[in-house]
Structure 1
Amino acid sequence: MPEASLYGANTARGAANFKGFGPTLADYPYFMRAMAGVKLAAARANQSVGALIDRHADAIADACDEIRDGAHWDQFIVPLAEGSGGTSTNMNFNEVIAARANQIMGLAQDAPGGVTANDHVNLAQSTNDCVPTGIKLACVLAWPALQEAAQLLIKALEAKGRETSDTLRTGRTCMQAAQPMTYGQLFGGYASMVSRALQDVERAVHGLCTVPMGGTAIGTGLGAPEGYREVIEEALSESLGFEIECAANAFDGMQSADGFARMSAELRNLAAACAKIAADLVILSSDGASGIGEILLPAVQPGSSIMAGKVNPVMPMSIQQISMIVQGQDLTVSLAAQAGQMEINHFEPAMAQALFTQMALLTAGLPQFAESCIAGLKVDEARSYENLARSFAVSTVFLRALGYKKVAGLAKRAQTEGRPLSEIAAEEGLLDADQLRDVLRGATGA
């Protein structure tokens, strides 16, 4: 044990047993603050029912406040994805808080009358209720940053929709020309899709405010002093700064991981929505000489080390890649959620790492996508209209007047002669070029 360490033997064993298992607790700031808040709330709840003397409770609370402010994080050396079901994580917090509380009181470690990790910091708790509580509340704490990130993307899409509200384009189904629409409708639809997905994430976040705290090991509450369960809810709310409630049925709250699974699934859906937008932009921005060429993306970096002048759609591709990772992490959460046994789920560390990774990637990626791609992209109006006017999408505007059979014949002639349908229509005296543009615009419903 390092002489100056605040952690103890349990932490050291966990760090050694799970060495190389990935980032440590200190690499997850929201979890650090959430767990410190949980431990502080427990101390105050125990104090209020007379189970913890004022001096100990105050010292524990002061130590927790220091941790929430970013102090002593170098003492949290256990990997988050440790294999003890969260016990090593819980003891890392218990030991550091106890050691720091004794320092605050001016006591040597293990001095008589001091704070101990198990008897005082962990009083009325078990790993099985305080760690899942910490994981849930960490996601709630991380939510505002993710919400702001997604809203930046929504606003950028809405702004681009207004900017391109009159720009005609070819609506495509199955990668074939279908019907006329505008780029304003395209971007407006994107904004709505992301907004809906974000609302679903928000509902999942709200569900995480119901926690298993007070159930102790299996839901019976054994080990908690009388009255503790009645006060821990209020103590948690005061400590974390938002409304928190304990599960109505502690046995349900202890064993169920559906809240984590729901949260992950909604993050997956949000990522998938953004990836769909990104994939469309990759296609629409394919170079004009060999592709669609209707959208010009900001050139943020060279695209090749060998093909001079090539610029790749790296920002959309990065969002697609983030989505792949988020969806992979969702599978981890799903498998871990269903692997719970009897009264608890001991795979919560894996779910925690997956959820924190999902939220961090989306929080970092969505503003970049908004600012470095959506805000600066340009639509080539001339190319977009040319693609529309030359496509079979114009056939739909003639259906009501001419009927399907007549329009199909015109389309077949255009295909046989290798000429645009609009040109055949003009030759047939159906309408001229100016009339075509007006008819196509009217067909969009914009």
Structure 2
Amino acid sequence: MRQVSDSLGTLDVPETALYGANTARGAENFRGLGPALAAYPYFMRAMAGVKRAAARANQRVGALSERQADAIAAACDELWDGAHWDQFIVPLAEGSGGTSTNMNFNEVIAARANQIMALAPDAPERVTANDHVNLGQSTNDAVPSAIKLACVLAWPVLAEGAHRLINVLEAKGRETSDILRTGRTCMQAAQPMTYGQLFGGYASLVSRALHEAERAMQGLCVVPMGGTAIGTGLGAPEGYGAEISGALSESFGFTISCAGNAFDGMQAADGFARMSAELRNLAAACAKIAADLVILSSDGASGIGEILLPAVQPGSSIMAGKVNPVMPMAMQQISMMVQGQDLTVSLAAQAGQMEINHFEPAMAQALFTQMELLTAGLPLFAGKCIAGLKVDEDRSYENLAKSFAVSTVFLRELGYGKVAGLAKRAQTEARPLSEIAAEEGLLDAAQLRAVLQDATGA
């Protein structure tokens, strides 16, 4: 062990630790508050990218020497590539508003930069955590910027899974385009439609939800860097504010801009709330589809029985042969968890006080959890459920032909009163309305199918 010091005293850390006293105190103070920083790879890269950009901006305005900036950037490159992550021991949901998180990065990057430069402990160009790695920054602008950019980095994989689901739903719609089914409202038979229309509607629903989430994600490319502690930029070298957005764009490889009003950028968390809400909406859309599939796949002997889901595992430890809709239910549970995390983001976003929001660590953990759940869940739902499901065409048509949904095809010709009388007779005699219609010479079985198909508008 070796000793490290801060303004509060001296602490012991492992001999090989790259972190210092601030990190050690944060890890001890917030022990048990959830996973440490290293559990969130996109955030690790985002913070490394932010620190790398700050070093280059400071170099360009002459506040850091080229050697110092190169060493800091090299250390950040190593972090981006996954090195030294075992040194990040502060829980993400720490209670210091992100200060312990920021200092964990500052301390590790400074120590590694000095190793890269191979400087003696008293060398004049030696890098320190606060004076060099954190130069031009505050926790209050660096951490929320990294949280935003971590979401942007995580987005492509999530979007890929969502597009996979949309494509599979569209393909299933084409596959079932001519299969008639009972359209249901209030869980009662309503009007005829096709399964192609059902799956096409699902694909459109997910596509719209994904589009809105992507718009929210794009809004996260506006960050509060340059505002330092409260938006004034106090403490940043002259010219740094004009350089940082370009340096960030270079560091991340996409366009990043700084908030037009720094005070708004520092205090407002609506970007996080908006992103979380759209992730919630995406999850809820998928859960709605999943819930429908659970009902439509209820077994033919006692339920609707129109959809046959892939049997991915046995459904019971006691009821032999039972197969449950486990993938739709998993999608529903993912939605429940995503919506729970959204509540955390919403509460934290409105709880900000004065010039900053102190609860960004909680928002970060919630947002990253939402994205992880959807990134894993959407392709599973697509591949293990939608892609392999089958529609029992005969059962679906039987349910339609026996239902009161067929009554709508007679309304224009016979009028509501006549059709209501037919429906009442069918109910009294416990016979399908289609059978009564054929008996009265309105149309035979072949004509009924053709009329129903035409009524779908497909």
For this structure pair, what is the TM-score category when the shorter chain's length is used for normalisation? over 0.9
C-alpha separation in 2, matches of 1:303 and 1:5: 49
Q: Counterparts of 1:335-346 in structure 2 under 5 Å?
A: 335-346=347-358
Please tell me whether residue 83 in structure 1 is matched to residue 115 in structure 2: no
Please tell me whether residue 242 in structure 1 is matched to residue 266 in structure 2: no
Q: Normalization by structure 2: what TM-score?
A: 0.97
In structure 2, the partner of 1:137 is 149
1:177 equivalent among 167, 189, 213: 189
Q: Counterparts of 1:385-404 in structure 2 under 5 Å?
A: 385-404=397-416
C-alpha separation in 1, matches of 2:302 and 2:66: 75
C-alpha separation in 2, matches of 1:282 and 1:163: 20
- 1:108, distance to aligned residue in structure 2 (A): 4.9
C-alpha separation in 2, matches of 1:96 and 1:285: 54
The amino acid that maps onto 1:79 is: P
C-alpha separation in 2, matches of 1:242 and 1:201: 18
1:306 equivalent among 318, 321, 334: 318
C-alpha separation in 1, matches of 2:17 and 2:318: 52
C-alpha separation in 2, matches of 1:427 and 1:204: 58
- 1:30, distance to aligned residue in structure 2 (A): 0.4
C-alpha separation in 2, matches of 1:101 and 1:155: 47
The amino acid that maps onto 2:380 is: Q
Please tell me whether residue 226 in structure 1 is matched to residue 238 in structure 2: yes
Show structure 2 runs of 5+ residues with no match.
1-12
Please tell me whether residue 417 in structure 1 is matched to residue 429 in structure 2: yes
C-alpha separation in 2, matches of 1:110 and 1:175: 77
Contact 1:150 1:367 in 2 (8 A): yes
> Equivalent pairs: percent with the same residue?
85
Q: Counterparts of 1:176-215 in structure 2 under 5 Å?
A: 176-215=188-227
Q: Counterparts of 1:32-47 in structure 2 under 5 Å?
A: 32-47=44-59
Please tell me whether residue 93 in structure 1 is matched to residue 105 in structure 2: yes
C-alpha separation in 1, matches of 2:383 and 2:36: 31
Contact 1:128 1:216 in 2 (8 A): yes
C-alpha separation in 2, matches of 1:122 and 1:7: 14
Contact 2:68 2:125 in 1 (8 A): no
Contact 1:132 1:348 in 2 (8 A): yes
C-alpha separation in 2, matches of 1:241 and 1:181: 48
In structure 1, the partner of 2:446 is 434
In structure 2, the partner of 1:268 is 280
C-alpha separation in 1, matches of 2:104 and 2:163: 36
The amino acid that maps onto 1:223 is: G
In structure 2, the partner of 1:12 is 24
Deviation by residue 1:191-236 (Cα, 9 ceiling, x = unmatched): 0000000000010011000000000000000000111000000000
In structure 2, the partner of 1:371 is 383
Contact 2:222 2:257 in 1 (8 A): yes
Please tell me whether residue 251 in structure 1 is matched to residue 267 in structure 2: no
C-alpha separation in 1, matches of 2:203 and 2:27: 45
In structure 1, the partner of 2:418 is 406
**Aligned structure 1 segments of 4 or more residues deviating by more than 6 angstroms:** none
The amino acid that maps onto 2:366 is: A
C-alpha separation in 2, matches of 1:109 and 1:397: 88
In structure 2, the partner of 1:28 is 40
Contact 1:99 1:109 in 2 (8 A): no
The amino acid that maps onto 2:126 is: G
C-alpha separation in 1, matches of 2:121 and 2:408: 82
In structure 1, the partner of 2:9 is none
The amino acid that maps onto 1:121 is: V
SS in 1 for 2:184: strand
Contact 1:271 1:326 in 2 (8 A): yes
- 1:169, distance to aligned residue in structure 2 (A): 0.2
1:60 equivalent among 58, 69, 72: 72
Q: Normalization by structure 1: what TM-score?
A: 0.99
- 1:107, distance to aligned residue in structure 2 (A): 2.4
Given the superposition, is the C-alpha separation of residues 328 and 55 from structure 1 closer, same or farther in structure 2, using an over 3 Å criterion? Answer: same
C-alpha separation in 1, matches of 2:175 and 2:275: 34
In structure 2, the partner of 1:163 is 175
C-alpha separation in 2, matches of 1:430 and 1:215: 77
C-alpha separation in 2, matches of 1:419 and 1:441: 22
SS in 1 for 2:110: helix
The amino acid that maps onto 1:22 is: G
Please tell me whether residue 216 in structure 1 is matched to residue 228 in structure 2: yes
C-alpha separation in 1, matches of 2:31 and 2:70: 34
The amino acid that maps onto 1:235 is: A
- 1:318, distance to aligned residue in structure 2 (A): 0.4
C-alpha separation in 2, matches of 1:139 and 1:393: 46
In structure 1, the partner of 2:10 is none
C-alpha separation in 1, matches of 2:51 and 2:399: 63
Deviation by residue 1:144-202 (Cα, 9 ceiling, x = unmatched): 00110000000000000000000000000000000000000000000000000000001
- 1:35, distance to aligned residue in structure 2 (A): 0.4
